[in-house]
Amino acid sequence: MAADLSPIDKAKFAAARCAVDLIEDGMRVGLGTGSTAAWMVRCLGERVREENLKLIGVPTSTRTADLARQVGIEVVTLDEAKWLDITIDGADEFDPDLNLIKGGGGAHLMEKIVATASDQMVVITDASKEVNHLGAFPLPVEVVPFGWQVTRALIEELLDSMDVLGRQTSLRLNGEQPFITDEGNYIVDLHLNRIGNPRQLALVLNQIPGVVENGLFIDICDKVIIGGTDGKVEIRDINEGTVANEQIEFAEEENIFRDLD
């Protein structure tokens, strides 16, 4: 149960539990992808079951859609929902301005579309994801398979003129084969170490033929919820310029802890 969770999972759970309290009856909710977002989906499913909460979820990957259905959340497409009240998702890195790197799970294209189609985006995370400058985590760039090596060469040529510390790139693999996104594309990971101007890089990367989308989320996140291993959470609101704190209690017997792998 809760006592058996690792410290990092306790932090993720605390952030997720705090975030789902933002959900109100009748909302249209973007459901993120990744290990932290999975905690959120389970917490939200618990509210749906126990409070008879009525909402619809728009998942950002097939695996999130599968989990949402398993826990009782009604799933629709973004075209069906039209517009969302809130999206809750994780991040691989966030900086003081709440700019993000996302895409470690390979879903950043759908995640960015869903997040920008929402009144607000809330990121749930733990303290290890906070950085002064983005770039230590490899930046994912989704590319079409046709001519991907040319696209990769163009990306590498571009990086020569960018304010970054590293310029190595690699094709993301699944075993010995290229990793395939839900949209049927490849991902080239950029090992940059430090990104001096994330806004500029995000803009110019998407001008390269063959690039579908990059994992830089600039001016998209409205709020970040940072979970601690002791259940303490810090809530930073970039629009209000506020920082708040809450305490999440770890109940020993919770539905959310059932059937976890």
Same domain, 40 and 122: yes
pLDDT digits (tens, 9 = 90+) for 177-186: 999 999 999 9
Query: Minimum mean pLDDT among 4-8, 66-70, 170-174, 239-243: which range?
Result: 4-8
Mean pLDDT, the chain, whole residue set: 95
**Residue 2: predicted pLDDT:** 58
pLDDT over threshold 90, residue 15: yes
Same domain, 208 and 223: no
Domain that holds residue 23: 2-131+219-257
Same domain, 11 and 86: yes
Same domain, 16 and 36: yes
User: Which among 202, 198, 234 has a CA at the least distance from the CA of 112?
Assistant: 202
pLDDT over threshold 80, residue 210: yes
With helix as H, strand as E and coil as C, how does 68-80 read?
A: HHHCCCEECCHHH
Domain count, the chain: 2
Instruction: With cut-offs at 50, 70 and 90, classify the pLDDT of residue 37.
Output: very high
**Could you give the CA distance from residue 155 to residue 153 in angstroms, rounded to a whole number?**
5
33 is in an annotated binding site: yes
Same domain, 165 and 86: no
**Residue 251: predicted pLDDT:** 76
The percentage of residues in the chain with a pLDDT greater than 70, rounded to a whole number, is 95
- CATH number of the domain enclosing 179: 3.30.70.260
- Which one of 46, 50, 51, 111 is the catalytic residue? 111
With helix as H, strand as E and coil as C, how does 192-208 read?
A: CCCECCHHHHHHHHCCC
Same domain, 35 and 113: yes
**Residue 199: predicted pLDDT:** 98
**For range 136-164, the mean pLDDT:** 98
**Could you give the CA distance from residue 171 to residue 115 in angstroms, rounded to a whole number?**
26
Same domain, 8 and 114: yes
pLDDT digits (tens, 9 = 90+) for 70-114: 999 999 999 999 999 999 999 999 999 999 999 999 999 999 999
34 is in an annotated binding site: yes
62 is in an annotated binding site: no
- CATH number of the domain enclosing 19: 3.40.50.1360
> Is 111 noted as a catalytic residue in this protein?
yes
**Residue 250: predicted pLDDT:** 82
- Report the predicted TM-score, pTM, of the whole model to 2 decimal places: 0.94
**Residue 36: predicted pLDDT:** 97
pLDDT over threshold 60, residue 260: no
Residue 119: how many CB atoms within 10 A of its CB?
Answer: 12
Same domain, 150 and 203: yes
**Residue 258: predicted pLDDT:** 57
> Which residues partner with 141 through β-bridges?
188, 214
SS3 85: coil
Residue 105: how many CB atoms within 10 A of its CB?
Answer: 21
pLDDT over threshold 70, residue 3: no
**Could you give the CA distance from residue 19 to residue 205 in angstroms, rounded to a whole number?**
32
DSSP for 184-249? S-EEEEEE-S-BS-HHHHHHHHTTSTTEEEESEE-S---EEEEE-TTSEEEEEETTTTEEEEEE--
87 is in an annotated binding site: no
Instruction: With cut-offs at 50, 70 and 90, classify the pLDDT of residue 5.
Output: confident
Same domain, 113 and 159: no
Same domain, 105 and 56: yes
Same domain, 51 and 166: no
**Residue 23: predicted pLDDT:** 98
Helices 7-20, 35-51: inter-axial angle, 10-degree rounding:
50
**Residue 29: predicted pLDDT:** 98
104 is in an annotated binding site: yes
**Could you give the CA distance from residue 160 to residue 162 in angstroms, rounded to a whole number?**
6
What's the token pair of residue 205? Answer: 């990367």
170 is in an annotated binding site: no
Same domain, 33 and 162: no
